[in-house]
Structure formats: structure tokens, C-alpha cells
Structure 1
Amino acid sequence: MFIKNNEPVSLLHYWTTRYLLTLCIGLVLIGVVSAYWIKYAAIEKQLEVTRLFAEEVADRVVDDDGNVLVGDKLHQVLDNRRKFMGVDRNLLLFVQNKKGEIIYNRTGMVNPALKQALPRMLEQANTADKVKQPSGDTLYVIRKDLEYNDVPVGQVILLFPETDIKVGREQVQYLVIMLGSLGILGWAVIYFHARKLSDPIQDVVLSARRIVEGNYDVTINKTIKEREIHELVYTFKEMADRLRQLESIRTELLAGVTHELKTPVTAISGLVQAVNDEVVTGDEKNEFLQICLKETKRLQKMVEDLLDFNSFAVGAIAVQLEEQNLSKLIPEIASQWRVTQDLENVEFITQLPEKETIINIDPSRVQQVVINLLNNAKQAVGKKGKIELVLYATDSDMRVDVRDDGQGIPLDEQSLVFERFFRGRNKKEKVRGLGLGLSFSKMIAKALGGDLILGQSSPQGSTFTLILPKK
């Protein structure tokens, strides 16, 4: 019914079928309870009518002097009242005097077995509300005391079979109509809501198939009121937009990486060819070879970056933690970097906390990240500007800020700065590379248990923050 041969069925079919089955079971239970209640109400009604009939008999068999009299016309009068009150003709009527003797009975056409059992049944009827016939059928008992001036002078006993209690056809019809209407209404409601629920999910499925085929244009414009479905649909749409953006970047950057690798290869090939063909000689030849060596090293660095990134991407980042005093490590890194840079017109400032901070880190990995951030800052400020290296503590971690007063990162590029192979428009024009530096650095920071974030960026400069946990 739900899943055949391990093949999933549609959400609409699955849930409407399950709900319909549950609804049917519920309606059957309601029907059973309702039928029992209708039967109980019919019995109570019959008992009430029979009690009224017993009171009618009691009023007619006691005269004004307190004598129990059964006249010749009692049969006709009781038959008329019984018909008027709707008491069944199978009713057994007995009138006893105060001595318990039966002075009147209206048993009608009863079978011999019942006549034989009547004494026993009447004896039981004095104390019980139900008695059994020889055939096994149940007889309800109604007793009414005959009184004169609050003194008992006899008793009226009525016996009527349980099988004579009839449930009105109209009541059964109303019950069937009600249960049928509830079943149809319930099925229609769940079908409508399940369909409304499945439609946006089906749109997501169709959009996912288009993405698998390489089409990232997902258009979902339906208004969805359910919060969970709304979040699912629009999160998926954001994911599709992100994938489309990344696919565009990947295509563009793949072309850029190919170009970056091709450029030194072409230069090396041309220079080596010139030397090999003896187009250049002497000092010029040595200059060509030096250029070849420089381009070869740059090409080697690009290939190493690609190999390192591949290792980092699969989580193979070797980290060796050891106790280090950041207040000493950061100045050492800054000093080493300053020596290798031309900072003639660049102001470089280092700010350190007064209190020493010792944490478990990998100093070589921290050096990789900080030097990469400093190199990026120098590229941002150009030939003249200001770079700040600031170490400070928060309640849970240590932070290293690298600030520059360059032109900043455009707003539309800020969310992409840590993407692999991403290089901003300004950087493409100034610096050649693969665009893996910040991606490397963020992976290293994560491996150290911390993070690397872009604190802020504006036309007045940018701030990158390396977060290192204290514990």
C-alpha cells in the first residue's frame, strides 16, 4: 500500500492513504461507541415508558378504599394505554396483593416452557432488574409498589424482552450519514493539505534535477506560509544561487589558474630557446638564465601551493601543538617579515599586550598565517601606507589583527575572499598568483582550533583577524 518493492511513492499518495486508513479505523471505533450509546438510550427510553405504564396500572387497580381490584374492563383499558404509550405487546404483566399472591396476570400467548418458569422468574424479579427466560433471552423487570396512604397493599411487576427494544431507523441513518460525511470531509481536508505540502517540495525536487544537469537557474516564486517548508525552499534557492556563483567563479578561476601557470612556462620556453639558439650571449645570456631561474621558482611555488591545498582540502594538515608565549612569538614573526620587505614608505606598527600569554599552538603554522596576512596587507597599501599588527586577548581566545589602510575589498567580494582560487578585481591587476593564500590560512586556523575572519573592510582599509583558542 505504501512502499512496494522498496520503491518510494509520492508524498501525496503516501500520507493520504495512511490518513484515510487511520480515519476509517477511527470512524469504525466512533461508530461502535455511537451504536452502543444509541442502544443504551433506546433501553433507557423503553424502561422509562414501561415505568410510566406501571404507574398507570397502579393508579387503576387501587380503589379509594385501598383495595386492589381487577375489574372486567382492565384488559381493554390496559391494552388501550399500552398502544397509546407504545409498550410492546410481548409485555408480561402481573399484579400481586400484599400477600404476594398473583391476582392478575397478562401473559398472553406464552409457550409452556415459559409458563412453567414463571414462578421462578417472578421470585427473581422481586430482587433483580433482569431475569432469564428458559430460552436464554433476557427480560427486563419493572416493579411498582401499590400503596394506599403510604402503606403497601400490593405490587405491579412488568417483564419485557430485551429483543423487543428497537433502535429507531432514523437514528441509524443519521449515524451512517454523519460518519460518512466525516470520512469524506476528513479525506478531502488531508488531501488538500498534503497536496499543498507536496507542491513546494516537488518544485525543490525538479529544481534539484536541473542543478544535477548543470542548470543553476532556480526560480521559486510561490508564497509559502508554513515556516519549515518556507525555510526549506528558500534555503535551497540560496544554495542554488551560491552554487551558480561558485560555478561561475570556478570557471573563471580555472581559466585564470591555467593562464598563471602558462605564463611562466611560455616565458621559460622562449628564454631557453633564445639561449639554445645562441640568439643571446655573454651577460645577456646570463640575464636570460637568471630570469628563467626566477620564473622556474615561481612556477614551482604555484605547483607546491596546488599540492599543499589538495592535502589541506582533505584534512591532511599536520599540526604539532606546543606551549608558546604569543607575546614573544608575534614580535619575532613581525621582525622576520620586516627584514625581507621593502617598507621604505610603509609604516609598520606592532601592538602587544602587557601581560604574557602562553597557549598551545603550532608556531610554524601561526607564522604561515600571519606572514600571509602581512603580505596581503602590503599588497593592499602599495608603495605607501600603514600596516598594524595587533595582539590582544578576549575572555575565551587570543586574537591577532592585521590592519591596513588600503582601498579595501569591494562589498560584493567580501563573502568570497576565503574561497579557493578567488582573486579580487584589484588584486588581479597588481599581483599574479593562484588565489589560495587566504584559503590556506583559514584551513590552518581551523586546524589550530580557531578561525580566520574578515573583521571589516571599507575604502579606508581592511582588518583580518586570526582567532586562537586559549585552551
Structure 2
Amino acid sequence: MNKKGKKISLLRYWTTRYLITLVLGLIVVGILSVIWLRQTNLEHRLDMTRYLGQEISDRFVETQSGQMVPQGGIFDYIEQRQGILDTELDPIIYIVDRSGRILSNPLKRNPFSFDIFPVSLLENNSDVQRIQLASGEETYLVKTAIEAEGGTAGWVVVIQSTGQLTQMNEEYRLLAIMLVSLALIGWAVIYVLSKRLSRPIQDVATAARHVQEEDYDFTLPADIKEREVHELVHSFREMSGRLQELERLRLELLAGVTHELKTPVTSMTGLIQAVRDDVVTGEEAKEFLDVSLNEANRMQTMVADLLEFNSFSAHTVPISADNYNLNTLLTEIIHQWKVANDEESLQLSLHTLEEPVFVNIDSMRLQQIIVNLLNNAKQALNAEGTIDVRLYNKDNDTAGIDIADNGPGISEDEQHLIFERFFRGENKKYNTHGLGLGLPFSKIIARSMNGDLVLTESREGKTVFTLEMPKYQE
């Protein structure tokens, strides 16, 4: 965000900051490179200056009867060696004897005001010295000994300006070209990569605006190599698909609730109208009123389910937990359900464990889950078939309750939706009354008791729901 509060694009944000970072980094690299090049160039040219002094000593100084005799031609030699030194040098050259007396100054340049060369400079053990001339100019002095009759007869002294020794205009140009090229290439690379990275994010932002307007007709790129961006796009695609599915379920809910409430209201209105108009009398009128009362109770149950659903959705499921032997509790729940659902063509079997299994749960909530699962199995079987309830140890810490039936099963297309609120499968939508809240309720209740409810298996002839409950640990 800039100073005016306007958002900055990802492309501009990263390219600008990367370019600033790159330029600062290249400036630091440039400074260090200049220092290194100056030092390297200085050492190289000092070596060449030593070579020059040695050449003059060997070729232009002769020793006759113990005396040094400088020869001519040094100036022409210097001009010929300009290419070797790779710069326009203007050295000061002296040929001096051991006492410092200047025997020759071939280039006719003498920065000193006396004819005797400073002996202190000659007696210094170092062959390279940094000195300052009387004019204030910084220079390097390189001396080369002239050997004669087993000893040092004198020296060839070469004085060269520091500026000339470190001069490297061509190197500066090459370094500048290299740094500018690196900056441009780096900026171009980060621009391309940032643009590639920002494109799918921009697509997701555009798709989000479509979803906000309840328009799910959009496409997102699929061939994304970056893992994080791929996960972002994939997650958004799944989220939008889920939102679309929930929107469809919401519309079905409105239609379903309207149908479920309209049907008993219409039935009740007709029956009560018939009784009021004396269309029916006596026992038949009482029967009409009983039917109207049953329809009113069904409406009351649906309204209660909706109110309870709001409470459950807010994660405020009231739980009153206590320790129970799951063998005993499950036996009682199954017995009560059998008494209320005495169907000769429906076979219900229960398998418990020989050893007691203790859990810390709300018995009423557990009964609510088991009864709902048994009712669903009964509806799937049309009251004709077998239901098998089996208690077992899932592991050392969890007990499992499998509720299986031999009904037609749940289609694969619907299995991932059965725990969605208000979802009702195609087989139940037109054959069974309800709001599609039973399984979502049961799953929320199971999780509120630190357990879970899952669909373990569903196919033609077998459907298994598993209720998992944590064992009580003393």
C-alpha cells in the first residue's frame, strides 16, 4: 500500500523491491570490485616497473674499472615498452651510485632540488616504497640493484605516480557495463517470474469476485508448477465447488422445507375444514382430528430440529457426560428401539464384547445417534432386511460401533455429501419425510463427545456406519 492508501500490484511490489535490492547489492559489489581491481592493477604494474628497472640495469649500465657508465637509448626503450605496461606511463628514472650520486637522469625529470639522491631511500631494505614528493604528489619508488664485482655498485631507481599506476579506464568501463547488464538482466528475470507468479493469483482474485456475485462459471489454470500456488488454486477450486454444492443444497432446502411444511398445513387445513363443515361426523371426525394432530406434531418436530440445528452449528451442544459400560448401555438402547419398531420382516442382531468397555459420554446423546442410524437403516431397507450392530475394540484407546444393513447402499456420487446439512439422497428425497439433518446432527454430537461418525463402507447389499468413542481412562 502506498502513502495514499492505494494497493500496489504484486508485480510492481516485487519487481521494484527486487530492483532496489539488486542495485544496492551491485553497488556494494562494484565498490569491492574497484578496490580489488585497483590493488591487483597496482601490484601488476609495480611488477612491470621492477622488470623495467632490471632491464635498464642489465642493458644500459656498464661497469668499467669499477665505475658505472650509463648508456644512451633509455628513452627509446621506454617508448617501446609502453605496450607492455598497458598504459601511458611517465616515470622518473635515476641511475645512482652507492653514495647516492646521480649518474644519469635519462628522461630529464628531477623532482628533487639536489644532485645527491636521498641515501635513506636507498638504504631501505624494501625494493618498493611509497613516498610523497615535494609537490605533494603520491608516488611509488622502485629500486633495482646494479651488481658489479660481487657487490652492489649502485641502483636504478624508477619513480612512478600512484595515479598512473592505478589508472584503469578500460577496466572501469567493462565493470560498469557488466554491472548495468546484470541489473537489467536481473530486473527482467524477476519481472518475468513475478508476472508468472502473479497471473494465477490474479485469476484466483477474479474468480473470487465471480463467486462473490454467485457466478461459478469461471476457469482457473491447471498446469502450475509452483507447489504453493498450485495448492492455492486447487484449494480455491475445491472451495468454490463446495460453495456451489452448498448453494444447490440451500435451494433444495428451501424447496424441501417449503414442501415439508406445506404438505401438513394443506392436509390439516382440509381435514379441519371437513370437520368444521360437518362433512364428517362422529368417529370419522375424531380420526380426522387425530390425523391433524399428528401432522401438527410432525411440523413441531421439524421446527425443533431446525432450532436444535442452529444451536449445534454454534458448537453449543449440551453434553452431560458420565462413565458407562458400553456393553450394557448399547444393549439397553437396542432393546428400546426393538420395542418401538416391532417389525417381523426386519431382523436386528447385536454383538457385544465379553469384557466390559467403559466410556465417558452422554448416554442420551449416544442413544440419539444410534437411534438415528437405526432409523436410516430401516428406511433404506423399507422395513425388510437385516441390521447388524457390532461393538469392538478399534484400538487400545478407542471403541467402535458398526451399524450395518443389507440395503441398496449409497451411490458413490452421494457418499461425500451424506454429512452435509440438509442433503437428502435421491432415494430418500421423494420417499421419506425429513430435512436431511440426522447424519450431520449425529456427527456433530459424536465429535462433541470426542468421538466421530464415519461412513466405513457402502455398496449394493451392504452399508456400514462406524461410531468411534474414546475409552475411559482412569
TM-score, normalised relative to structure 1: 0.92
Identify which range, 264-273 or 363-372, moves more after superposition. 264-273
Q: Displacement, 1:226? A: 1.9
* Cα distance in 2 for residues equivalent to 1:380 and 1:193: 56
* Cα distance in 2 for residues equivalent to 1:196 and 1:18: 17
SS in 2 for 1:19: helix
* Cα distance in 2 for residues equivalent to 1:326 and 1:241: 40
* Cα distance in 1 for residues equivalent to 2:59 and 2:93: 14
* Cα distance in 1 for residues equivalent to 2:118 and 2:107: 13
* Cα distance in 1 for residues equivalent to 2:67 and 2:415: 110
The 4+ residue runs of structure 1 with deviation greater than 6 A are none
* Cα distance in 2 for residues equivalent to 1:15 and 1:126: 58
Give the match for residue 287 of structure 2.
Answer: 287
Percent identity over the alignment is 42
Give the match for residue 96 of structure 2.
Answer: 96
1:397-421 deviation per Cα after TM superposition (whole angstroms, max 9, x unaligned): 1111110001111111111111111
Give the match for residue 173 of structure 1.
Answer: 173
Q: Displacement, 1:62? A: 4.7
Give the match for residue 413 of structure 1.
Answer: 414
Inter-CA distance 280–28: structure 2 relative to 1 (3 Å threshold): same
1:445 aligns to 2:446 (yes or no): yes
Alignment of 1:267-286 (within 5 A): 267-286=267-286
Q: Displacement, 1:79? A: 1.2
Alignment of 1:103-114 (within 5 A): 103-105=103-105, 108-110=108-110
Alignment of 1:19-418 (within 5 A): 19-60=18-59, 62-63=61-62, 67-71=66-70, 74=71, 76-86=72-82, 90-105=90-105, 108-110=108-110, 119=118, 122=121, 127=126, 129-148=129-148, 150-165=150-165, 167-395=167-395, 396-418=397-419
* Cα distance in 1 for residues equivalent to 2:80 and 2:349: 114
Q: Displacement, 1:213? A: 0.4
Native 8 Å contact 1:12 1:191 kept in 2: yes
Inter-CA distance 364–32: structure 2 relative to 1 (3 Å threshold): same
* Cα distance in 2 for residues equivalent to 1:220 and 1:16: 24
SS in 2 for 1:359: strand
Q: Report the residue type matching 1:15 in the other structure.
A: W
Inter-CA distance 191–318: structure 2 relative to 1 (3 Å threshold): same
* Cα distance in 2 for residues equivalent to 1:229 and 1:469: 38
Identify which range, 193-202 or 238-247, moves more after superposition. 238-247
Q: Displacement, 1:377? A: 0.9
* Cα distance in 2 for residues equivalent to 1:338 and 1:328: 16
1:276-305 deviation per Cα after TM superposition (whole angstroms, max 9, x unaligned): 222222111111111111111111111100
Native 8 Å contact 1:323 1:361 kept in 2: yes
Q: Report the residue type matching 2:416 in the other structure.
A: S
1:363-389 deviation per Cα after TM superposition (whole angstroms, max 9, x unaligned): 111111011111111111123200011
Inter-CA distance 254–68: structure 2 relative to 1 (3 Å threshold): farther
Q: Report the residue type matching 1:37 in the other structure.
A: W
Aligned length: 466
SS in 2 for 1:453: strand
* Cα distance in 2 for residues equivalent to 1:414 and 1:37: 71
Inter-CA distance 137–111: structure 2 relative to 1 (3 Å threshold): closer
